[in-house]
Amino acid sequence: MSKTVKIAIMGAMLEEVEPFLAPDEREPLLAFFKKHNDVRYGGNLYHEAKYKGVDIVLAYSKIGKVNAALTASTMIEKFGAQMLLFTGVAGGVNPEFKIGDLVAATQLCQHDLDITAFGHPHGYVPEGAVFVKPDAKLLRIAKAVADEKGIDLKKGIIATGDQFIADEAKKSWIKATFDADAIEMEGAAVAVVCDALDVPFFVMRSISDSADMDATFDFDAFLKHSSQRSSSFVMGMLDKIVDDLAQ
């Protein structure tokens, strides 16, 4: 990794990046980030900061694939991010995943992308791929962080779509069609952008609900707690990445 790497930290909702932000706007971004600039662009607020000498850009995109694609592209093209770490929550599809569990995406797909009418598989468009993979080195760093902290890090396929899933039938369809382990609304959009622009990326999600009939209730109840778990894991990864850069 180059010594000059600029790292993007991204979530979809304010709650997902809030653990990185000071409650009082006059304070720097938590004790560990030194904030040096706030930029409003395209309807979002980007915080430029420094962490142990490394440049950071932090933002939440707002919910959904289009917003996520705009923010990921902006972080890369306007702010010069050379690596992107996504943090947030997801609905669990794999029955072994419990609320609060940490899931690192091994592949991401768009469950609502459908030109099957033309004989293509679900999630596929010509010149694209159904699944996009995060950076292998960042996945290894995640495993190392989990091992060091004694965290039972889950891995799995994340299916993304512009729908909050709170329905057993839809959830089963997504599981059957993509072998998905978790569902959310931004990851694959970020993956497509980073893959196209050749930027290593990683998607971390903590389970907030089980995408079933209780999902809206659970989501509201666990959004904050699960966001905290995900962001604290990503912070651990950031430490390791920064240490690697220093060597």
Binding positions for ligand ADE, rule: CB under 6 A: 89-91, 164-166, 183-185, 208-209, 211, 215, 219
Marked catalytic residue, from 15, 16, 101, 218? 16
Q: Which tokens is 15 given?
A: 């709650």
Q: Which amino acid is at 184?
A: E
CB of 98 to ligand ADE, least distance (A): 14
Judged by CB, which is closer to ligand ADE: 49, or 207?
207
Judged by CB, which is closer to ligand ADE: 208, or 230?
208
Judged by CB, which is closer to ligand ADE: 84, or 183?
183
CB of 159 to ligand ADE, least distance (A): 9
Cβ neighbours of residue 198 closer than 8 Å, sequence gap 6 or more:
none
Q: What is the dihedral of CA 243, 146, 227, 190, to 10 degrees?
A: 70
Q: Is 16 a catalytic residue?
A: yes
Q: Determine whether 3 is exposed, middle or buried from the number of CB atoms within 10 Å of its CB (0-12, 13-18, 19+).
A: exposed
Judged by CB, which is closer to ligand ADE: 82, or 227?
227
CB of 212 to ligand ADE, least distance (A): 8
Q: What is the dihedral of CA 93, 8, 219, 171, to 10 degrees?
A: -20
Q: Determine whether 210 is exposed, middle or buried from the number of CB atoms within 10 Å of its CB (0-12, 13-18, 19+).
A: buried
Marked catalytic residue, from 101, 195, 209, 218? 209
Closest residue to bound ligand ADE by CB: 91
CB of 165 to ligand ADE, least distance (A): 4
- The percent of the chain in helix, strand and coil, each rounded to the nearest 5, is 35, 30, 35
Active site amino acids:
16, 209
